[in-house]
Amino acid sequence: MPVNSYECLFLLDSSKMAGDIPGTVAQLHATFEKYKGEILASRPWEDRKLAYPIRGQKKGLYYLMFVRVDSRHLSSIEHDFRLNENILRMQVINIHPKWADTMLALAKDEHALALPAGRDDSIDAAAAELMPNRPLSEKD
């Protein structure tokens, strides 16, 4: 059973979710759990205005999840997500096993890339390898 780690980024319809963000997140979790997936990290990333309208919506909530699931079920999971009307767009990326722990640590620390002061240098180094063209701290 080839189990892989995945980073999933969802663009959710803010107007349809209005006051039921926990309900929508529960739907996302239930879809992975239906296929025996393990939720490693799950959090909202950013609620923002879109660069262009998607399905008539001008605003959306970006939601980030890290999961571990059998890769044979991935196409079925993506199909289930395409049927969910709350999801405007989604992106599922396979995480190389070498980077899985680092990516998960960054995902659980919601301020890891936002706050340069008082950071752990090992996280800076790992993030610099993942995003070589992005300045991570002001110390340099």
Q: What is the predicted pLDDT for the residue at 106? A: 75
d(CA 39, CA 16): 24
CB 62 within 8 A of CB 46: yes
Same domain, yes or no: 90 and 115: no
Check: pTM over 0.85? Answer yes or no. no
Q: What is the predicted pLDDT for the residue at 121? A: 54
d(CA 37, CA 69): 4
Q: What is the predicted pLDDT for the residue at 92? A: 94
Q: What is the predicted pLDDT for the residue at 82? A: 94
Q: What CATH number corresponds to the domain at position 70?
A: 3.30.70.60
* Rg from Cα positions in the chain: 16
Could you report the average pLDDT of every consecutive run of 10 residues in the chain (140 residues)?
88 82 90 93 89 91 92 93 93 86 73 46 52 48
What are the beta bridge partners of residue 8?
65, 92
Q: What is the predicted pLDDT for the residue at 115? A: 40
Question: Is position 104 within any domain?
Answer: no
Same domain, yes or no: 58 and 10: yes
Same domain, yes or no: 86 and 118: no
- Residue span of the structural domain in which 79 resides: 3-96
Number of domains observed in the structure of the chain: 2
